A and B are shown apart, each in its own frame.
Chain A
Amino acid sequence: MAGASTIRLESQRPRKATSDPLAIKMVLTTVTFLFFALFLFLPLVVVFQEAFEKGVGVFLATFRDPFTLHAIGLTLLIAGIAVPMNTAFGLAAAWSVTRYRFPGRSFLITLIDLPLWVSPVIGGLIYVLVFGAQGWLGPWLREHDIRIIFAVPGMVLATLFVTFPFVARGLIPLMQAQGMKEEEAALTLGANGWQIFWRITLPKIKWGLLYGVILCNARAMGEFGAVSVVSGHIRGQTNTMPLHIEILYNEYQVAAAFAVASLLALLALLTLLIKSYAEWRAEQQLKNIP
């Protein structure tokens, strides 16, 4: 009987002007759950289900294959080069557009954003046009026996292009919101530029920086389109994990393809976890600014 009386009390209390009727709440929440289940949860479940479809043995055997191991190594190598470079660049870019006012500033911000909106295929194509056999530097490179396209350097360049905006984008709104009163105070107390950066700015932006770096890393390890164009797909030489997935899948080694995919899916989940945490910490930090 207690249940019945609480329901009555509930319905007698006037609804707040900002809240929706219960029926609407139920419908909208259900729609959201269904939409997310269909587009987000199911694809994720499928990856792990298919990875273990043929049993744990097949799953583990995939990771004993030298080509898979090489693909994992190459992915780590490319991300290991691209992420630190784009982090350094992102810091410089965010510093320059949030600390100073100069003509063309907002145009520069748009240019920094550009690679996010250009097709990743174009990210590969442009390097083929510069370094490829018929490209600008093609003949010169051939004379000196340097390979960039269909080799690792080209894949690093393509990855640099597509992951280039992430760190700067994470930092610019944060640094704009934080302002630079502390930095100016430090300056009047005699600190130089590097001291200001290491002791004042970096602690202020560390969570925003982590947020950008983790997204940059996820994209660097998972990039497919741009890297595919410049890779040449040579197994054991220019094959990253996403490209290896494609080869395995096209060879009907579905369980193996999903086994490699499950590793990248785990990376994505880890990325989301760290990202949510960093986002939350960055918000806390912003709130603490008087």
Chain B
Amino acid sequence: MKKHVIPGFGLTLGTTLIYLSLVVLIPLSALCQRTLSGGWEHFWETITAPRVVASYWVSFGISFLAAATNGVFGVIAAWVLVRYRFPGRRILDAMVDLPFALPTAVAGIALTALYAPNDWIGALFQPYGIRIAFTQIGIYIALTFIGLPFVVRTVQPIIEDLSADVEEAAACLGANRWQTFWRVIFPALLPSILTGITLSYGRAVGEFGSVVFIAGNLPFKTEITPLLIISKLEQYDYSGAAALGFVMLVASLLILFVSNGLQAWNNKRRGIA
């Protein structure tokens, strides 16, 4: 008996595996090999150097704040886009994906121009002594921009799928709108909100292009880990760059793992096996 009905199993899976190996797996194993060949001591020394540790705080800490911000505003935006009807809704909806489509370098210089001390929004804060561009606030803004689509796009389909019955039942049983939201709607949305936050965190942690322009790149203050990888490469410190790359890779894999788990929970809730 033939196992697969539709022809092409060998061809398509073979192509996929070869291509995946050449473009992704073999180069990534070069990263792991390079990290290991440098020796444990060198590895540990590189990844715990004070300047590197400071960059973890910037990359991983500010990404968290940006993802949390997107968690709040992304849910509001998804709700408004699905439930309300108003002029310009379709344009807003299409614009959500702008951070995907706009090259990061363009976003980087545009945000810098917006928030630099003497320009546009930056000038509004200047009199109060608040600097946005070239500080950690600037990094936070760039990372919020980059992560914006994820929460909206994961929560949107769940709101669309919510059946009216449960909300009507809640109202019939005497719940006010706020109670219905907290006790009925929010629990149904929670898995997708957490998935969206994790995805936007994952994207923000590795982000480079939009951040380098607005960050100012001061060691210990506004230097992100991906930038340190590049400066190590520029000094021909390949094993140092590999060690930092390895740390970033493991972090990304962990984030991906968590988001896959959340997504499975989400699908189970929706009844998709």
What residues of chain A have their CB less than 8 Å away from a CB belonging to chain B? 17-21, 24-25, 28-29, 31-33, 35-36, 38-44, 46-47, 50, 88-89, 92-93, 95-97, 99-100, 102, 108, 110-122, 125-130, 132, 134-136, 157, 160-161, 164, 180, 183-184, 187, 192-193, 196-197, 215, 218-219, 221-225, 228-229, 241-243, 245-246, 249, 254, 257-258, 261, 264-265, 267-269, 271-273, 275-276
Give the Cβ gap from A133 to chain B, nearest Cβ, in Å. Answer: 8
**Known interface pairs A120-B206, A130-B26; A249-B31 also in contact (CB < 8 Å):** no
Check if A18 sits within 8 Å of B101, measured CB to CB: no
Cβ-neighbour of A120 out of B102, B208, B256 (below 8 A) = B208
A181 to chain B, nearest CB (A): 11
Task: Provide a sorted-by-A list of 22 A–B residue pairs whose CB atoms are within 8 angstroms.
Answer: A20-B177, A40-B98, A44-B98, A44-B110, A92-B11, A93-B12, A93-B15, A93-B16, A117-B255, A118-B252, A120-B226, A121-B229, A122-B31, A129-B30, A161-B23, A183-B6, A193-B11, A218-B100, A264-B106, A268-B102, A268-B103, A275-B101
Do residues B6 and A222 form an inter-chain contact, with CB atoms below 8 A? no
In the assembled complex, the CB of B79 is this many whole angstroms from the nearest CB of chain A, namely: 7
CA gap between A124 and B148 in the complex, in Å: 25
Secondary structure call for the A interface: helix
Asked if B191 is at the interface of the complex by the 8 Å CB criterion, the answer is no
**Residues of chain B lying within 8 A (CB to CB) of residue A243:** 105
| Binary flags per residue of B211-235, CB closer than 8 Å to A gives 1, else 0 | 0010000000000001101100100
In whole angstroms, how far apart are the Cα atoms of A184 and B4 in the complex? 11
For the side of the interface on B, what is the size category?
Answer: 35 or more
Chain B 61-81: CB-based contact to A (< 8 A → 1; otherwise 0)? 000000000000100110111
Tell me how far the C-beta of A81 lies from the nearest C-beta in chain B, rounded to whole angstroms: 13
Contact yes or no, A50 B8, CB < 8 A? no
A196, B256: Cα distance in complex, Å: 35
A129 contacts B208, C-beta separation under 8 Å: no
Contact indicator A122/B206 (Cβ below 8 Å): yes
Task: Give chain A residues whose Cβ lies under 8 Å from the Cβ of B1.
Answer: none
Q: Which chain B residues lie closer than 8 Å to A108 at the CB level?
A: 16, 20
CB distance from B33 to the nearest CB of A (A): 8
Interface of B is mostly: helix
User: Is the beta-carbon distance between B104 and A224 smaller than 8 angstroms?
Assistant: yes
- With CB as the reference atom, state the residue of chain B lying closest to A186: B6
Shortest Cβ distance from residue A250 to the other chain B in the assembled complex, whole angstroms: 9
Q: Give CA–CA (A51, B17) in the complex, Å.
A: 45
B16 and A89 form a contact (CB under 8 A): yes
Residues of A with C-beta under 8 A to B144: 39
Residues in A neighbouring B110, C-beta threshold 8 A = 43-44, 46-47, 50, 261
Select one of B12, B84, B170, B208 contacting A96, CB under 8 A: B12
CB atoms of A161 and B24 under 8 A apart: yes
Question: When the two chains form their complex, are residues B9 and A96 in contact, meaning their CB atoms are under 8 A apart?
Answer: yes
Q: How far is the CA of A102 from the CA of B13 in the complex (A)?
A: 10
> Is B109 in contact with A245, judged by CB distance below 8 angstroms?
yes
Cross-chain contact of B202 among A117, A134, A245, A269 (Cβ < 8 A): A117
The interface bits of chain B over 172-197 (1 if a CB of A lies within 8 angstroms of the residue's CB, else 0) are: 10000100100000000000000000
B238 at interface by CB-CB < 8 Å? yes
Please measure, in the bound complex, the distance between the C-alpha atom of A97 and the C-alpha atom of B24, giving whole angstroms.
Answer: 18
Contact between chains at B92 and A32 (CB < 8 Å)? yes
A111 contacts B20, CB within 8 Å?
yes
B49 at the interface (CB under 8 A from A): no
Most chain A CB neighbours (cut-off 10 Å) among B76, B99, B100: B100
Most buried by B among A21, A120, A225, A246: A225
Chain A's nearest CB lies how many Å from the CB of B103?
A: 3
Q: Which residues from 28 to 75 on chain B have a C-beta closer than 8 Å to any C-beta of chain A?
A: 28, 30-31, 34, 73
How long is the Cα–Cα vector from A39 to B105 in the complex, in angstroms?
A: 15
Give chain B residues whose Cβ lies under 8 Å from the Cβ of A223: 103
B155 within 8 A of A: no
B129 contacts the other chain (CB 8 A): no
Bound-complex Cα distance A268 to B58 (A): 29
Asked if residues B226 and A225 are in contact (CB atoms below 8 Å), the reply is: yes
Do B6 and A184 touch (CB < 8 A)?
yes
Contact check, A122 vs B248: say whether CB atoms are below 8 A apart. yes
Q: Whole-angstrom distance between the alpha carbons of A183 and B9 in the complex?
A: 14
